[in-house]
Structure 1
Amino acid sequence: MGHFGFSYVGVLYLLMLFLPNIIWIKNKPQGYTSEGENRILGIFENTGQVLAVCAAVIFSDFNIRPEFPWILWLIISFVFMLMYELYWVRYFRSPKTLSDFYSSFAGIPVAGAALPVIAFFLLGIYGKNIWMLLAAVILGIGHIGIHLEHRKGIGTKR
């Protein structure tokens, strides 16, 4: 279920998640708007965000414990977070168009939404933490769903 306690790994993941998003606030793609987003997907996204942030910090299940094969889940999860950082580096170096923002990275569609969701889901597997797994699924439905809708709409806005 989950062991209550502070997670330094969870805090590291949240820093890796939030720092690029803070920078993005001043580097939004031209023409970006959140108007007209699906309200149901928005509810899933917001609920998943709150649950994932809380789970990442309040459960010690995510701290490093070198148990094989479980440590492999943490390593793979961290690789996805590193890919997320590389996605942002590419975006910040790009012309910052909507196509750049909703692009794929390493074959993963809408990478800005999908990569952290995958990373947090794998972190939930590593921590054997049902709350993080549920949070990642709920977040994924909303966040990835919204990004897919936006990406689909790029062609119609031109």
Structure 2
Amino acid sequence: MGLHAQGFIISLLVLLPNLIFIFFPPRSVPGSLDSVPLIFTLLERAGQITCFMMPILFGRMIAAEPLGVSAILMALCMLVYYGCWVRYYRSGRAFAVLFKPWLGIPVPMAVFPALYFLLLGVWLQSWLFVVPACLFAAGHLVNSWSVYGHVRS
């Protein structure tokens, strides 16, 4: 356990597009969206907080781990995720594009950050990282799928 720049970078890579999103919000946001059971929102939030804080708190452990296939797959997840953000901005910030499938993958802007954090747990071979990633994935995917269903219809 201990702080290290790599831990900050791992969290920042996912957060950066979301920080930009604050200043350039979507257009054409529906007036109301179907809500999902509260448990999924709670899982998503608990998973988000934990997934973003764990790499920071365990940065030294991450820095000590040699790069492997999981780390390469994490980088690919980020490339696809950033590509989805580019698609969103090129669309004129259309809300529906945030949930639009890409190459047959539904809600890719939810799938790829979830995979990124799951792969971090695999890379580190640590349940301490896998469990929060699963909580985040469950909540984020269900919430995003619900919104996608609403904007699709």
TM-score scaled by structure 2?
A: 0.86
Q: Distance in 1 between matches of 2:101 and 2:41?
A: 22
Q: Distance in 2 between matches of 1:34 and 1:75?
A: 39
Give the structure 2 partner of residue 13 of structure 1.
10
Deviation of 1:98 after TM superposition, in Å, equals: 3.0
Q: What amino acid maps onto 1:63 in structure 2?
A: A
Deviation of 1:28 after TM superposition, in Å, equals: 1.7
> 1:61–1:129: 8 Å Cα contact kept in structure 2?
no
Partner secondary structure for residue 28 of structure 1: coil
Note the 1:133-152 alignment, pairs <5 A. Answer: 133-152=130-149
Q: 1:132 aligns with which of 129, 134, 140?
A: 129
Deviation of 1:33 after TM superposition, in Å, equals: 6.2
Which consecutive residues of structure 1, in runs of 5 or more, have no partner in the other structure?
none
Q: Indicate the RMSD between aligned Cα atoms, in angstroms.
A: 2.0
- Decide whether aligned partners of structure 1 residues 37 and 58 sit closer, same or farther in structure 2, where only a CA change above 3 A counts: same
Note the 1:17-28 alignment, pairs <5 A. Answer: 17-25=14-22, 26-28=24-26
Note the 1:94-105 alignment, pairs <5 A. Answer: 94-105=91-102
> 1:101–1:112: 8 Å Cα contact kept in structure 2?
yes
Alignment: residue pair count: 150
> 1:61–1:128: 8 Å Cα contact kept in structure 2?
no
Q: 2:111 aligns with which of 114, 119, 123?
A: 114
Identity %, equivalent residues: 25
- Decide whether aligned partners of structure 1 residues 34 and 16 sit closer, same or farther in structure 2, where only a CA change above 3 A counts: farther
Partner secondary structure for residue 102 of structure 2: coil
TM-score scaled by structure 1?
A: 0.84
> 2:77–2:113: 8 Å Cα contact kept in structure 1?
yes
